[in-house]
């Protein structure tokens, strides 16, 4: 199950990056053949880890927005710590 969530997280990040705009969960569902509950678990994980932001939109839709440069900033921080330890 954890691996499945990780795969779906990657798909969601790809969808958001290609779209270039926030997507609601229903739009994400149209791009994926995964079960709805698995998509929600993946969105929740990405939100908790700071890769996406989720906010309530019109008619109780939840808009998912990619946080720019989140992964790159984390890699730079990790490299700087590794460099100081060596």
Residue 49 has a pLDDT of: 93
Q: pLDDT confidence of 73, banded at 50, 70, 90?
A: low
The three-state secondary structure class of 53 is strand
Place of tokens 């798909």: 11
Query: Can you tell me the mean pLDDT for 49-76?
Result: 77
Dist CA 8 CA 34 (whole Å): 8
Averaged pLDDT score across all residues of the chain: 82
Residue 58 has a pLDDT of: 76
Q: Decide: 11 and 32 in contact? Cβ < 8 Å.
A: yes
Share of the chain above pLDDT 70, in %: 79
Q: pLDDT confidence of 2, banded at 50, 70, 90?
A: confident
Structural domains present in the chain: 2-85 (1.10.10.10)
Query: Can you tell me the mean pLDDT for 28-47?
Result: 93
pLDDT > 50? residue 86? no
């Amino acid at each position: 199950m954890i691996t499945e969530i990780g795969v779906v997280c990657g798909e969601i990040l790809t969808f958001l990056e290609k779209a270039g705009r926030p997507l609601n969960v229903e739009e994400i569902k149209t791009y994926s053949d995964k079960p709805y509950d698995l998509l929600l678990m993946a969105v929740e994980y990405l939100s908790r880890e700071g890769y996406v932001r989720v906010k309530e939109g019109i008619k109780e839709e939840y808009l998912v927005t990619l946080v720019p440069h989140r992964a790159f900033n984390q890699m730079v921080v990790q490299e700087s710590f590794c460099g100081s330890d060596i």
